[in-house]
Amino acid sequence: GAGVSQTPSNKVTEKGKYVELRCDPISGHTALYWYRQSLGQGPEFLIYFQGTGAADDSGLPNDRFFAVRPEGSVSTLKIQRTERGDSAVYLCASSQGRGDIQYFGAGTRLSVL
């Protein structure tokens, strides 16, 4: 596609449930990033993939958060045992390589009730 695509655009879940958020990057981009944007804040870095491997996961808040990119294209962010504090907009970005301009998707708004 022409841009970074994220699905779903909105996700409502109950506390304790498991959720998956999907990111489809720009074709040919090897680098993929996940960020979390809480209300009134700027995006915060979660994890960076170069190809299939997670090159930097230092931003993941705890072990309930996990992300994969098995074929080096689409990525899935997985959150186990969701908590109300996980409510935020989750943004995905891709770039041609490490350090190149990052292009962002519209995000997935996660609401944990």
* 101 binds other proteins per the rule CB under 8 A: yes
* 55 binds other proteins per the rule CB under 8 A: yes
Taking CB under 8 A as the binding criterion, the range among 11-19, 43-51, 65-73, 77-85 that sits at the site for other proteins is 43-51
**Residue 27: partners with Cβ closer than 8 Å, 6 or more residues away:** 1
- Bridge partner residues of 76 (DSSP): 22, 68
Q: How many CA atoms lie within 13 A of 68 on its CB side?
A: 5
Residues of this chain that bind other proteins (CB under 8 A): 4, 33, 35, 40-46, 48, 55-56, 59, 91, 93, 98-99, 101-107
